[in-house]
A and B are shown apart, each in its own frame.
Chain A
Amino acid sequence: NAGVTQTPKFRILKIGQSMTLQCAQDMNHNYMYWYRQDPGMGLKLIYYSVGAGITDKGEVPNGYNVSRSTTEDFPLRLELAAPSQTSVYFCASSSDTEAFFGQGTRLTVV
């Protein structure tokens, strides 16, 4: 029972590089989310999706893009990495009231 799986766990990017953070869930949840967690701050919602083919912006979407071609997968794309995007990224999925989180991806942009 894998739950929410994120890859990679760690990544160092140079300024201007691009990358995709992968997220997959095997619980058949409609709702999926991407959050970022900065030191001393709560999690901030980047993007979310209420079902395959539907995505919407959260609180801090600038510099990111998402897609939701299947129920299982919700990748997060950084096109031009900036130092301000250094953070820990969490993917989550939910059915009704409970959200399940992945283990996180620690991204450093240098």
Chain B
Amino acid sequence: GEDVEQSLFLSVREGDSSVINCTYTDSSSTYLYWYKQEPGAGLQLLTYIFSNMDMKQDQRLTVLLNKKDKHLSLRIADTQTGDSAIYFCAESIGSNDYKLSFGAGTTVTVRA
């Protein structure tokens, strides 16, 4: 089966870097994703990484993938108050890239 785990809460000071960690179980996942959910809203795709990549950088976001340990992380540089949200890690389920298994979400609180 598939199971995605992530820590539930993270508090970070404005301007610092945030690192959100995630572990997954399905070694055949083709893509791994980070989604952001703001209060009262749906999920918005932040970034994704193909399973044969180690790292992907997109402006303030850096995704690191350790496929051997099935560990995924999202680093947000220069965290801003607008980054306060719930961040979900998700993996594609097996060879079916269009189905996703989500973690419980990490609530990131940015304090001034």
Interface of A (DSSP majority class): strand
State the main secondary structure of chain B at its contact with A: strand
From B42, B97, B104, contact of A97 by CB (8 A): B97
Q: Is B62's beta carbon under 8 Å from chain A?
A: no
- Which residues of A (1-59) have their CB < 8 Å from a CB of B? 4, 31, 33, 35, 40-45, 48, 50, 58-59
- How many pairs of A and B residues are in contact by the CB < 8 Å rule? 55
A90 B97 Cβ-Cβ under 8 A: no
A44–B4 CA distance with the chains assembled, in angstroms: 11
Cβ–Cβ < 8 Å partners of A50 in chain B = 98
Asked if A42 contacts B88 (CB within 8 A), the reply is: yes
> Which range holds the interface residue count of chain A?
20 to 34
11 residue pairs of the A-B complex, CB under 8 angstroms, read A33-B99, A35-B102, A42-B104, A48-B99, A90-B43, A97-B97, A99-B100, A103-B41, A103-B42, A104-B41, A104-B42
Give the distance in Å from the alpha carbon of A99 to the alpha carbon of B93 in the complex.
14
Known contacts A42-B88, A43-B88; A99/B102 CB under 8 A: no
What is the interface of chain B, defined by CB distance below 8 A to chain A? 4, 8, 31, 40-45, 48, 88, 90, 97-105
A31 and chain B: residue at smallest CB distance: B98
Closest residue of chain B to A100 (Cβ to Cβ) is: B45
- Across the interface, name the chain B residue whose C-beta is closest to A30: B98
Residues of A within 8 A of B43 (CB): 43, 90, 92, 99, 101
Tell me which residues across on chain B come within 8 A of A104, comparing CB atoms: 40-42
CB closest chain-B residue, reference A35 = B102
B98 proximity list for chain A (CB < 8 A): 31, 33, 48, 50, 94, 99
Residues of B within 8 A of A97 (CB): 31, 48, 97
List residues of chain A with CB within 8 A of the CB of B44: 101
